[in-house]
Structure 1
Amino acid sequence: MDSDLHARDVMTTDVETARPDDEVGDVLERLAKAEFNGFPIVDGEAVVGIVTQGDLVRLFRKKDRLVWIPIGVPPFSETLPYAVDFSLDEFDLGIDFVKNARKDVSEIMTRDVVTVEIDTPIEEVLAILAGEDRDINRVPVLDDGRLVGIITREDLLRALRTELLP
């Protein structure tokens, strides 16, 4: 496939972000309400990391089991659908949950973020999002080091469908 499409043509420009000093609990609550499952972490205009629901769920894993992650019962109000098998004798879990929820997101974010430039050909974006060496679902788009958009697998599929099936 040789297309004239570039990152700028398929990216979403309204990008929700988080800051490195945002608390894990706050980011988790925002993700629970979002229609996507990850945030680029920005310091000023520079992308310094990325955090996904998977990162947050792994933070609350206890002995290879997941537990309900409540959001909003002080300080959380909703529940994410990651749940399973929690025995009441694990009383330290509540303490661990509060401790982890108050951590800065910079402690758990992925720092080695794969990004593309605004003029990156769509074939390169496809290679990143479909690559097997890393499980990447979204790629931030930069213009001279400044975050200007994001491309998800869904964005890419939509663009390819339009390009291949006009």
Structure 2
Amino acid sequence: MTKVSDVMNPVVVSISPHSEMKELLDVLSREKSGRVVVMDQGKPVAMVTTRSVVLAYAEHGRELSRLKVKDLMSEDLVKVRLDDELQAVLRLMLNKEIGGVPVMDGDVLVGIFTERELIKFMAKQTYSGLVDSVMSTDLKVIDEHEDTLEASKMMQRYKVRRLPVVSNGRLVGIITAADIVKSLARTLDPKPVLEAGTRNPITVGRYETLMRIVRIMEERRIGTIPVVENEIVGIVTERDLLYATVTSGIS
């Protein structure tokens, strides 16, 4: 069986709980996994994610700059052991509704495992399945004329990290929590969603294979792909693939 140590990322990006918001935004805007480990006196104490920042921005707007990392810290840090089996770690992440966990060797932080590492792992495997079987169809979309603050409020309201951008019902872009953080690293002023997000994103049909979309995600380093059949009918995210991996037993 695959161990988490076989697929984890040994390079861990960390930050102090006392760091200012500007430093956090700068670090998160460069971090592909969308999360950093908060270290206090050499010990991991929390995880802060792009979603953490987006929720704070939705609540505080430009006053976000007054906050520090400690104001965004999760209360209960879920950790895993170096020798834990991958399937057990995936089930834990799914049950806790989290996208990443620090990997510990005793009391020492030795790596991190996130949905991004899962995609890298899946891209090397062989398995069956179609997009139609895993895509999310309860879509929340945002109009192209809205801005990043409204997108943050929608992400807070609907508990999502990504929003397809539409114009008269037609898909024209997508904006993610990571996009908003990158925008905030430049300015706390709200920006149009199409300026901060991605125009004309890569799309797939509902009968595309899971193997192909996983490889697209890995090659393009993206975490979501809209599903289009003349109009947008669904979306496939890293979380959907996490669920599929747990239920199918890919390991």
TM-score w.r.t. structure 1 length?
0.67
Matching of residues 44-123 of structure 1 within 5 Å: 44-62=168-186, 97=188, 100-101=189-190, 103-123=191-211
Q: Which has the higher helix share?
A: 2
Would you say the 8 A contact 2:171–2:200 is kept in 1?
no
Matching of residues 121-136 of structure 1 within 5 Å: 121-129=209-217, 131=218, 133-136=219-222
The aligned counterpart of 1:9 is: 133
What is the alpha-carbon distance in structure 2 between the residues aligned to residue 149 and residue 58 of structure 1? 25
Q: 1:137 aligns with which of 212, 216, 223?
A: 223
Query: Structure 2 regions of 5+ residues with no counterpart?
Result: 1-125
Greater Cα shift, 49-58 or 154-163: 154-163
What is the alpha-carbon distance in structure 2 between the residues aligned to residue 143 and residue 112 of structure 1? 15
Percent identity (aligned): 27
What is the alpha-carbon distance in structure 2 between the residues aligned to residue 113 and residue 61 of structure 1? 23
What is the alpha-carbon distance in structure 1 between the residues aligned to residue 156 and residue 247 of structure 2? 30
The answer to whether structure 1 residue 22 and structure 2 residue 146 are counterparts is yes
Which consecutive segments of 4 or more residues in structure 1 shift more than 3 A?
none
What is the alpha-carbon distance in structure 1 between the residues aligned to residue 212 and residue 170 of structure 2? 22
More contact order relative to length (CA 8 Å, sep ≥ 6): 1
One-letter amino acid of the structure 2 residue matched with residue 44 of structure 1: N
1:48-93 CA distances to partner (integer Å, 9 max, x unpaired)?
Answer: 111111211222225xxxxxxxxxxxxxxxxxxxxxxxxxxxxxxx
**1:155 Cα deviation (Å)?**
0.8
What is the alpha-carbon distance in structure 1 between the residues aligned to residue 248 and residue 182 of structure 2? 37
What is the alpha-carbon distance in structure 2 between the residues aligned to residue 147 and residue 29 of structure 1? 22
Greater Cα shift, 44-53 or 29-38: 29-38
One-letter amino acid of the structure 1 residue matched with residue 232 of structure 2: L
**1:2 Cα deviation (Å)?**
4.2
Aligned residues: 125
**1:135 Cα deviation (Å)?**
2.1
What is the alpha-carbon distance in structure 1 between the residues aligned to residue 137 and residue 211 of structure 2? 20
SS at match of 1:149: strand
Query: Structure 1 regions of 5+ residues with no counterpart?
Result: 63-95
The answer to whether structure 1 residue 164 and structure 2 residue 249 are counterparts is yes
The aligned counterpart of 2:58 is: none
**1:7 Cα deviation (Å)?**
0.8
**1:35 Cα deviation (Å)?**
2.5
What is the alpha-carbon distance in structure 1 between the residues aligned to residue 183 and residue 138 of structure 2? 28
TM-score w.r.t. structure 2 length?
0.46
One-letter amino acid of the structure 1 residue matched with residue 235 of structure 2: I
One-letter amino acid of the structure 2 residue matched with residue 45 of structure 1: G
What is the alpha-carbon distance in structure 2 between the residues aligned to residue 123 and residue 61 of structure 1? 34
